[in-house]
Structure 1
Amino acid sequence: MIDLHYWPTPNGKKVSILLEELGLPYTVAPVHIGRGDQFSDDFLKISPNNRMPAIVDHAPEGGGAPISVFESGAIMLYLAEKTGRFLPADVRGRYEVIQWVIWQMANQGPKFGERGHFSRVGPEAGDQSYAQRRFNDETHRLYGVLNNRLYDRPYIAGDDYTIADMIAYPWTVGWQAQGIDLEEFKYFKRWFDELSARPAVQRGLAVSAGPAEDPASLSPEEQARRRRLLYNQRARPAPAS
């Protein structure tokens, strides 16, 4: 059994999609990132960067104590290796996939995330036009990277559907909010439509972590507490010896 420490964001949905594709049994352990669950001492033991998702595998290959893994790219590689699926065994095919997994972690996820962040910043933070333009442009550029990659192959890493596709897909579900016209990227659109129709992808996207929270239900004090907790984070002090 695998414990999936999860909140329904694109990063969380990468892993739920893969688990659904693999058909592995798993339980969802909600990590309410708006409330600050990711800063709890118990969660930091398995995810020291205080970010979800993370997993705990209670039946690792070879037996022994449970294995915990944090960072979504590492989780994808771990589960693919554990099951021998969605990651080629030969060195050329394997690194074709791995380089795109790292591309997603280093480029698509961070740049799309910054685009979302700066689009939500209020006027109290000052003029954000440069940051908004920069990350709008980067988002558009990265859709172009995917489109150009997919013009002569069905999937990101070649002829086969792999974790390279699963890790990139959830960040593109919000293409409309990202200001993207899918008709501009026809090879990407063909890929996107195919993945969107996969039953396991649909199940993975639908994984929840409990009832949705109405932000209007929060008191002004709770809203202020969360802003202090979540924004402009600095280093946490090391535990006392």
Structure 2
Amino acid sequence: MAIELWTWNTPNGRKISVALEEMGLPYTVKTVDISKDEQFNPEFLAFSPNNRIPAIKDPDGPDGKPITVFESGAILLYLGEKTGRFLPRDLRARIPVLEWLMWQMGGFGPMPGQVHHFLMQPEGPARDYGFNRYHKETRRLYGVLDRRLAGREFVATEGEPSVADFAILGWAWRHERHQVPFDDLPHVAAWYERMMARPATRRGFEVPLS
């Protein structure tokens, strides 16, 4: 039975479509058009109470019973547990994945998201202050990521990516929109190209085509 992915054309939505493709899980897409406030529809709110995409419905959850999961980080952990892929079983190996997943959820997402917000505001002192504040922090986070990737293929694991890579990639995909070129981030640039060259990842970025 296929998982239902409720999503839209956003970085957080991309995390899950990439993970589903990489894990080879069958899924169907339910678009939630946030430009039309569809995230406030009662049907969606019934299992995604924070009125944010993405969310999933898995008819074949634990013990074969259906389950719903909201919040992209929680979904990635659930899918990793479900498949046994891209989330190490060994606790010592798992800790870096959890660290970098939380790093993304707590900073490398909220900060560039604020950059996007202020870029859409009318020009003026408030816009400039907000943009400069959050753009500076976004660039700092990219610097942290670049240092982490020095001499590494992937952010938190060896040999193959982890759910942390999928989470971070969702937002790095928008680097041009939040005005962070990769010119002085060689390790991020190489990692980004490596990830985007993966056929399953590319397929994940085509969902939804909106």
The answer to whether TM tops 0.5 is yes
Deviation at 1:200, TM superposition (A): 0.7
Q: How does 1:189-204 map to 2 (within 5 A)?
A: 189-204=189-204
Q: Which residue of structure 2 lines up, in the alignment, with residue 14 of structure 1?
A: 15
Q: RMSD over aligned Cα, in angstroms? A: 1.3
Q: How does 1:71-220 map to 2 (within 5 A)?
A: 71-123=71-123, 127-159=126-158, 160-208=160-208, 212=210
Which consecutive aligned stretches of 4+ in structure 1 deviate over 6 angstroms post-superposition?
none
The aligned amino acid for 2:170 is: P
Q: Distance in 2 between matches of 1:85 and 1:131?
A: 39
Q: Which residue of structure 1 lines up, in the alignment, with residue 37 of structure 2?
A: 36
Deviation at 1:29, TM superposition (A): 0.6
Deviation at 1:126, TM superposition (A): 6.2
Q: Which residue of structure 2 lines up, in the alignment, with residue 61 of structure 1?
A: 62
Q: Distance in 1 between matches of 2:145 and 2:9?
A: 24
Report SS of the residue matched to 1:158: coil
Q: Distance in 2 between matches of 1:103 and 1:202?
A: 24
Deviation at 1:119, TM superposition (A): 0.7
Unaligned 5+ segments in structure 2 are none
Q: How many residues align?
A: 208
Q: Which structure would you say has the larger Rg? A: 1
Q: Percent same amino acid among aligned pairs?
A: 44
Q: Distance in 1 between matches of 2:208 and 2:164?
A: 23
Q: Which residue of structure 1 lines up, in the alignment, with residue 25 of structure 2?
A: 24
Instruction: Tell me if structure 1 keeps the 8 A contact 2:11–2:174.
Output: no
Report SS of the residue matched to 1:206: coil
Deviation at 1:173, TM superposition (A): 1.4
The aligned amino acid for 1:148 is: R
Report SS of the residue matched to 1:46: coil
Report SS of the residue matched to 2:144: helix
Q: Distance in 1 between matches of 2:174 and 2:42?
A: 32
TM-score computed with the length of structure 1 as normaliser: 0.83
TM-score computed with the length of structure 2 as normaliser: 0.95
The aligned amino acid for 1:101 is: L
